Structure 1
Amino acid sequence: MTATQSGPRISTEDFRFAFRSHPAGVAIVTADAGDGPVAMTVSSVASVSIDPPTLMFSASAGSSSTPTIRSAETLVVHLLAADHVELAKLGARRGAERFGDDVHWGRLPTGEPFYPDANWLRGRVIRRLDVEGATIIVVEAVEARPRDDGMSVDPTPLAYHNRHWHVLTDRSMLPPAVAPFYAVYGRE
């Protein structure tokens, strides 16, 4: 049974409203398929598998970066912390110069453009799935930013919620009595 056979679809406004209460981590994806570097901010990165290390994200057909990201064989996914909010905004702003002289960026030895200050994973695209105006891209991680590269061991996470940037701190953590997740799922 297809979605249209099961009843009417919800409106795009209702769908957006529902997701406004769902916070998401923030990442920037960079790639260069031969026509110059591109970058886009995404809030759809998810871990798929630990062995092999695999992740996925969604790229909107409305983004000018999507054609390059769709055709690239490899790319870099930057998992952003709160101190990278300006980088997140840069990747989200239409028409912004994401690789200008005033932006700290470089190329990995394998050629992919990257932002060296952020935590990153370089990966090989293993699947692309077109879904109603977007492409889900599945990536096998083949390289990570070295742990001893001056990166904070416990960075403050950046989240996107209800069309605003947020940070997650110890103050936002619920006490165990309020959030019994581990008790419910048997993890301690």
Structure 2
Amino acid sequence: MTATPALGTPQLASPDLLRSAFRRHAAGVAVITAPGENGPVGFTATSLTSVSAEPPVISFGISTGASSWPAISRADHVGVHVLGEHQRELATTFARSGADRFGAPTAWTEGPEGVPVLDDVLAWLVCRIVARVPAGDHRVVLAEVVLGDPTGAGRPLLYHQGRFTALRD
């Protein structure tokens, strides 16, 4: 039998409450990419979720204020890249506003449907966008998996307590 935790003083819902609670939630790290009118776009996401196996559908969230949003809002396809613990610098680059995300040292190629595919990731998928659902200042993007490669080597990169980290044994 476990004891009921002391509730303390509850906080009213706010962006700060949400951020504080989710700093305690470890999440996998992915980079979402898409072709854009002025070159490829991409961003780091910790909101990647498997939604359905039949058909294979994933989701991720993106702020409507993000520099990648205009391209994602028009794209038919996106790339989804599961990052390994060796890719902290790549995750940081794609999370940083104003960074040259596809310049050196980022290694990538143009993949199917014109989607930028990053090198040396644990897994990558090309997905067809099927819906963009309004959710406050974000959109939840639903996308059906078209093809990919899940055979990259390594251990996953995680985001926890406001930083990129690795699994501990």
Q: Give the TM interval when normalised to the shorter protein.
A: 0.7 to 0.9
* Alpha-carbon contact 1:33-1:73 (below 8 Å) kept: no
* Alpha-carbon contact 2:108-2:117 (below 8 Å) kept: yes
TM alignment of 1:65-144, pairs within 5 A? 65-118=68-121, 119-144=123-148
CA distance in 1, matches of 2:22, 2:106: 31
* Alpha-carbon contact 1:30-1:38 (below 8 Å) kept: yes
CA distance in 2, matches of 1:85, 1:29: 15
CA distance in 2, matches of 1:55, 1:120: 12
Q: Report deviation, 1:11.
A: 1.9
Alignment deviations for residues 159-184 of structure 1 (CA, whole Å, 9 cap, x no partner): 10110111114x1xxxxxxxxxxxxx
Based on CA coordinates, which of the two structures has the bigger radius of gyration? 1
Alignment deviations for residues 22-68 of structure 1 (CA, whole Å, 9 cap, x no partner): 11110000001433210100000000011111100000122101111
Q: Does 1:41 align with 2:75?
A: no
Q: Does 1:157 align with 2:152?
A: no
Q: Provide the secondary structure at the position in 2 that maps to 1:14.
A: helix
CA distance in 2, matches of 1:159, 1:133: 24
CA distance in 1, matches of 2:150, 2:17: 42
Q: Report deviation, 1:109.
A: 4.1
CA distance in 1, matches of 2:69, 2:27: 20
Aligned residues: 158
- Cα RMSD (Å): 1.6
Q: Which runs of 5+ in 1 are unaligned?
A: 1-7, 172-188
User: Using a 3 Å threshold, how does the CA distance of structure 1 residues 9 and 130 change in structure 2: closer, same or farther?
Assistant: farther
User: Using a 3 Å threshold, how does the CA distance of structure 1 residues 101 and 17 change in structure 2: closer, same or farther?
Assistant: closer
Aligned counterpart, 1:16 = 19
TM-score with structure 1 length normalisation? 0.79
Structure 1 stretches of 4+ with a deviation exceeding 4 A read none
Q: Which runs of 5+ in 2 are unaligned?
A: 1-10
Compare the two structures and name the one with the higher strand fraction.
2
Q: Report deviation, 1:100.
A: 1.2
Q: Report deviation, 1:15.
A: 1.5
Could you tell which deviates more after superposition, 96-105 or 75-84? 96-105
User: Using a 3 Å threshold, how does the CA distance of structure 1 residues 103 and 11 change in structure 2: closer, same or farther?
Assistant: same
TM-score with structure 2 length normalisation? 0.87
Q: Provide the secondary structure at the position in 1 that maps to 2:114.
A: coil
Q: Report deviation, 1:9.
A: 5.6
